[in-house]
């Protein structure tokens, strides 16, 4: 189910932006969407965020946001929502059905 959700979000981003990449440095971020050589979105996809995977998902996204110069990013989940702020950056946790509308 997690791979299908990730594929759904990838297809949504490809319809919206010309280029969609994977980010990997110390951490990982599932998708970096670009248009005209400008990073538009950083997106992490996780079926369910819990105590076991929160740090990995959140910190990977924050690292990508910081290194790419973005102040906002999102974690797409099956049905969770929340907002987190750290060091002037905002991470929105959004259910997939809301994100793709």
Average pLDDT over residues 65-91: 98
State the residue range of the domain holding 78: 2-99
Contact 72, 89 (CB under 8 A): yes
- Please report which confidence band the pLDDT of residue 1 belongs to, taking 50, 70 and 90 as the band edges: confident
Cβ-contact 92, 74 below 8 angstroms = yes
What's the whole-number mean pLDDT along residues 13-30? 97
> What is the CATH number for 86?
3.40.1350
Stated pTM of the model: 0.94
24-43 pLDDT, tens digit per residue, is 999 999 999 999 999 999 99
The pLDDT tens digits for 42-62 are 999 999 999 999 999 999 999
d(CA 69, CA 46): 23
Number of domains in the chain: 1
C-alpha triplet 15, 36, 87: angle, nearest 5°: 90
């Amino acid at each position: 189910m997690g791979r299908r959700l990730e594929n759904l979000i990838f297809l949504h981003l490809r319809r919206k932006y010309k280029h969609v990449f994977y980010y990997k440095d110390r951490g990982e971020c599932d998708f970096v969407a670009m248009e005209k050589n400008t990073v538009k979105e950083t997106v992490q996809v996780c079926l369910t965020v819990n105590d076991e995977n929160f740090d990995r998902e959140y910190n990977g996204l924050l690292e990508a946001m910081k290194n790419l110069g973005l102040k906002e990013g999102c974690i797409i989940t099956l049905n969770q929502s929340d907002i987190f702020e750290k060091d002037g950056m905002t991470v929105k946790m959004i259910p997939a059905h809301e994100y793709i509308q």
